[in-house]
Amino acid sequence: MANDYNNANKRGNKEKLIRWIPSGDDVFKLNFDGSVKNNGAAGGFVIQDECGDPVLAGARSLGEVSINVVECLALRDALWMAISRGLQKIMVEGDSKLIIEAVQGTSSVLWRVKTIIDDIKLIAGSFDLISWNHVYQKANFVVNVVTDVGF
C-alpha cells in the first residue's frame, strides 16, 4: 500500500527543453566543439546567421591532444575565420563549460591551454560585440556532426 501511495505521488522527471535559439538581428551564432577518439582528436565549428542558415563551417584533425586543447583550438579557429570574413557581432556557444568560463575569466585556466585562451581573448577584442554561452551538448549537435568530419 505504501508503494501505491509513493508511486501515485511521485514527481515526474522534468525534461529540459533543449533547442536552437536565434541569435538576433545582425548577430552570428558560433558553435564550437571538440572530440577525442581512439585514433586522435578533431575540432570543428559552425557559424550561422540569425535565421540559422550556415555561413561558415570548418573541421580539422589535431592528432593526439586532450579534449580541452581540442575545444580551445576549435574556438580559436572559428574566431579567426569569423574575423577574416568581416563578421563583427558574434554569440559564441560551446558545450565545454570549462573553456567558456576560462575565456570569460570566471574560472582558472589550465596551464596546457593558457596560451590558446590568451589568443582567444585577444581575437575576441576585435569584435564589435561578442557574448559567451555554455550550452548542453544536445544543443550543440550540428557542430558535433561537422567535427566528426575532422577525423
CATH code at position 125: 3.30.420.10
Banded pLDDT at 143 (limits 50, 70, 90)? confident
User: 91: which residues sit within 8 A by CB, 6+ positions away?
Assistant: 23, 24, 27, 28, 29, 30, 130, 131, 133
- Domain range for 145 is 23-149
76 inside domain: yes
Residue 138 lies in a domain: yes
> Averaged over 24-49, what is the pLDDT?
94
**117 assigned to some structural domain:** yes
Say which residue, 141 or 116, is predicted with more confidence: 116
More confident call, 66 vs 137: 66
| Whole-number Å distance between alpha carbons of 141 and 35 | 12
Domains of the chain: total: 1
Give the pLDDT confidence of 93-135 residue by residue, as tens digits: 999 999 999 999 999 988 999 999 999 999 999 999 999 999 9
For the stretch 59-93, pLDDT in tens is: 999 999 999 999 999 999 999 999 999 999 999 99
